Chain A
Amino acid sequence: MRKILILPILLAVLSGCSSHKPRVALFLYNGEDLFMQSFADKIVAMAGMDIELSVFDAQNSQLLQNEHIENQIKEGCDLMLINPVDRLGAYSVIRRLKSENIPVIYFNREPLFKDLLLWEKTWYVGAKANQSGQMQAELVMELFGNDPGNLNRYDRNGDGRIQTVILKGEQGHQDAEIRTSEVVRSFRLMGFDLDILITEVANWDKDEAYEKMDDIIKTYGHDMELVLANNDAMALGAIRRMRQKGMFKDSNGNGRVDMDDDSWIPVLGIDGLEQAVQMIEEGYLYGTVINDSLSMARAMRDLSEAILNGRNIYDLPYRIEDNKYIWIDYQAFIKNH
């Protein structure tokens, strides 16, 4: 019954496993999340030989993550890198870690500010979700000609409005909420009229997006002019279904998927997954906003080293907002950019 998948990646194989090595534990909310996979890979790759890093996959269960955290407290962990399942529950973890004097860096999912304040050795490394929404909107506006009053041919029905399907991440997830509302807000702010055909929650998941896209295409397939996904995984799932439903055809037979083709509809994601970048190169995915996990991983490594070695974290080349946040900017990415 117990399906605890623990992937202890011990990087201290060669150097003789001395017990002096600081122990760092990395907790992922879900190892099946493509973005988190590549994120974790980067963190692991960057971890030096001088620390002992273990990785734990919570499989989207806060209960499991709590158990992992508790075990790591017992094991004498020196620093925790937590990507929480339930960001609202972080306060109890933070209080517990405070009582154990274990510093913690949260990442990717942001606990409440008041919770971060509970323990001085708590930080957050991530990107501002609203920035991703804004950038996603900017990419679309550029595609549609940057003139709200005079949309180009991508406004297929020529009604001056963009009929949009939104694939939302996990409902209640901060990033999902903010990315969704921010992209919509940005359009409106710039005077673009958006018809939101439907906001479908697909929980960040490629397969779920693929499944849900089926009904969406049946209902809105003719009107649909834009698909905005809160992340790349859902965008990729959507594209797979759309291709099945006859979109992204190579009508002129030039061996490429062209944006000029009638069956081409712009799909945008966020995160900058490798697969997504590849799909952009192939012409299916219009663009993505890279959630710069590489820079985040680097910031986390630098912060971790400073914490473990007792150095002043304010000497690091990062702005630490409110003594808690290190923000990493998103980067817009489309073909030939």
Chain B
Amino acid sequence: MKKLIRIDLSIGQSILISTLTIVTVVLLVTGTIFYSTFSLRTDELVETQSREINKQIVLNFENYINSLIETANYIQTSSLNLDLQENRNRLQEIYVLSREGKRDVISIFLFDLEGNALLGGSSRRNRFLRPDMELWFLNALRDLGIFHFSPPHTLNSQDDEEVISVSKLVDYLDGGEQKKGVLLLELNFRTITSLAEKSNLGEGGHILILDDNDSLIYTSTEGQSAALESLSLARRQNLGGFKASINSIGMYGNINTLSQTRWRIVTMYNIDEIGRAKKQMFSVLSFILLGSIGITMSVAIFISRRISGPLNQLKKYMLRIEQGDFTSRVEVSGQREIVLVADSFNDMIDEIRSLMDRLITEQREKRKSELVALQNQINPHFLYNTLDSIIWLAENERSDDVITTVVALARFFRISISKGQNFIPVSDEIAHIRNYLTIQSIRYTGKFEYHFEINHEILGNKVMKLILQPLVENAIYHGVGEETGLITIRGYREGEFIIFEVENTGYGIPEEKIAQLYRILNGEEEGQSVGLKNVYQRLKLYYGDEADLVISSELDEMTNVRVLIPAAVPGGVKQ
């Protein structure tokens, strides 16, 4: 089984990662597609553009060549249609006018096969000593029916004007006879170079013109090395388009033939400039990508903060509530939904708080009523016993004792009632016990003695009423035997506690009996110690766990019951 990796991410991280992933993937995919399409298009564009420029240049040259050839054809046709013998003047006129009609044409001649000039002339001084020995003449005789374009050459040693000789073997009519001759046109080479100069091939771009022997006729670049490099490339390529790098400039070369001339025109077109557009596009796309990632990141962070911020705040408040602080209210700002959650949370806390308050009040009420019930248990029991002893005193005609007893009983009950107060000063509690003991000592005359050891400083402290009476009652019942018993009641302060002790001499209580008593106190066992249990339960009910009741005993010596009451709760639990 593959172990499942649990990714534990915060909301912020999840939002950030997911949006970033989506944005990056989408942008990368579209960007890549766009860029590759663009660069493909650009490459195509570069190729087409350089091709079109080459075509345009070739067309310019072709137009020029065509118009030249038209002139030559016109002359040729004229020579074929007009007889040299009959129309010499008219023919001569045609030759001269044709030459003068074209500024770039320097000479037009018709030679016979022996090299004698029959017609035409030159705008420069005639320089032909032996035309039949010239290269253009010989070429015309060698390949019939075509125009021969010579490489540029200077007219003479004094003049550096460069010309091109165009020659062709032609038919002419002489005395009714069709004869062969050589037609020569000389052109100013500047015209051709100016055609090349017009074209814009970008920085470093240039034109070469090659003849059919791959010799350089013309180059528009002044850089020797560039021209040589292009030349060798063109020689290798012969025809068509190719990519090259010349002087570390990216070039697209095109070679095309120039019709009728056996020349080829090579254009080297700078493509780096278009390539730059590609680079630009790349940087724009990268910028868009990075920018979008940046924007997405900040938006994602902003949104996640608006969600996770309030959530974290909410969490903090929840922790405080967990620790019991119900008073604080959650105050969050941010995403609307989170604010709504916080508001609901506040409402919930309010509800819990009011529920708890109600619970506490109910508990308190319940305790109060229980307490009242327990207090009320004491009196009838005691009243019955006292009335019994008053009856006994009256039967024995001890009227003084009857009076004392009845007075003590009246006081006793007044304190018992205490105007409905549950807590009374220690002094009242002690007075209460005195009255009780007065009544009991009359009833059990000579059976026991008692004395108080009460520290005066605690007299003002308020304690739960009727604590001591059941204990003293127990001490009388269990402590009084054949010998006269002694009951000591102590009250003092010890640390945080007010301590009452009720001690009586007697047989004491064995250990196991004490343990049984504790069990009865805690309600774990049913027993007869109604008074002790009553005190114990009331102590716990009013003072909580801190209050305690401790029974100690020494066999055949004494029994001591200690009550510990926290002094810090003067009125006990708030009324």
Contact = CB atoms under 8 A, between A and B. Distances in A.
B358 interface: no
Interface string B228-253: 00000000011111000000000000
A196 B80 contact: yes
Contact of B264 (A92, A184, A185, A198): A92
Interface string B155-176: 0000000000000000101001
A99 B255 CA distance: 15
B143 interface: yes
B239 A70 contact: yes
Contacts of A174: 145-146
B49 to A, nearest CB: 12
Given A172-B69, A172-B73, A92 B238 contact: yes
A99 B257 contact: no
B178 interface: yes
Residue of A66, A85, A178 with most chain B CB atoms under a 10 A cut-off? A66
Contacts of A86: 257, 259-260
B58 A63 contact: yes
Nearest to A115: B212
Interface string B41-76: 000000000010001001100000000011001001
Nearest to B59: A63
Interface in A161-181: 171-172, 174, 177-178, 181
Contact of A172 (B147, B173, B178): B147
Interface residues on A, range: 20 to 34
Nearest to B168: A172
A197 B173 CA distance: 13
A183 to B, nearest CB: 11
A89 B259 contact: yes
Nearest to B54: A63
B353 interface: no
Given A172-B73, A185-B178, A199-B77, A88 B262 contact: yes
B256 interface: yes
Interface centre among A89, A95, A112, A177 (most CB of B within 10 A): A89
A165 to B, nearest CB: 11
B145 A177 contact: yes
Contact of B143 (A112, A181, A185): A112
B81 interface: yes
Task: Identify which of B51, B69, B146, B212 gathers the most chain A CB atoms within 10 Å of its CB.
Answer: B212
A334 interface: no
B260 A172 contact: yes
Interface in B369-409: none
Contacts of B260: 86, 88, 172
A146 B258 CA distance: 45
Nearest to B77: A199
B73 A95 contact: no
Interface in B101-152: 143, 145-147
A63 B55 contact: yes
Interface string B516-560: 000000000000000000000000000000000000000000000
Contact of A91 (B176, B241, B262): B262
Contacts of B145: 172, 174, 177-178
B240 to A, nearest CB: 4
A109 B69 CA distance: 19
Contacts, number: 86
B312 to A, nearest CB: 66
Contact of A181 (B146, B178, B238): B178
Nearest to A62: B259
Contacts of B488: none
Contacts of A63: 55, 58-59, 256
A93 B259 CA distance: 13
Given A91-B212, A199-B77, A99 B261 contact: no
B76 to A, nearest CB: 8
Given A92-B264, A172-B146, A199-B80, A99 B240 contact: no
Contacts of B239: 66, 69-70, 92-93, 95-96
B73 A196 contact: no
A99 B69 CA distance: 32
A197 B80 CA distance: 10
A86 B65 CA distance: 13
Contacts of A139: none
Interface in B268-309: none
A226 to B, nearest CB: 15
Nearest to A176: B145
Contact of A96 (B58, B73, B80, B238): B238
A260 interface: no
A21 B283 CA distance: 47
Contacts of B171: 181, 184
Contacts of A172: 69, 73, 145-147, 260
A82 to B, nearest CB: 13
Given A96-B238, A181-B171, A188-B178, A89 B69 contact: no
A67 interface: yes
Interface in B464-523: none
Interface in A40-99: 62-63, 66-67, 69-70, 73, 85-86, 88-89, 91-93, 95-96, 99
A74 B255 CA distance: 16
A120 B484 CA distance: 158
A48 to B, nearest CB: 30
Contacts of A140: none
A3 to B, nearest CB: 12
Given A88-B260, A92-B255, A172-B69, A66 B147 contact: no
Contacts of B257: 62, 66, 86, 88-89, 92-93
Contacts of B178: 181, 184-185, 188
Nearest to A200: B77
Q: Which residue among B59, B177, B255, B259 has the maximum number of chain A CB atoms within 10 Å of its CB? A: B259
Contacts of B77: 171, 199, 201
A174 B177 CA distance: 22
Contact of B259 (A67, A69, A88, A184): A88
A234 to B, nearest CB: 15
13 contacts: A73-B240, A86-B257, A89-B262, A89-B264, A91-B262, A92-B239, A92-B255, A172-B146, A172-B147, A178-B145, A184-B178, A193-B176, A196-B80
Interface of A: 62-63, 66-67, 69-70, 73, 85-86, 88-89, 91-93, 95-96, 99, 112, 114, 171-172, 174, 177-178, 181, 184-185, 188, 193, 196-199, 201
Interface of B: 51, 55, 58-59, 69-70, 73, 76-77, 80-81, 143, 145-147, 171, 173, 176-178, 212, 237-241, 255-262, 264
Query: 8 nearest interchain CB pairs?
Result: A89-B257, A70-B240, A86-B259, A171-B73, A96-B239, A96-B238, A95-B238, A92-B239
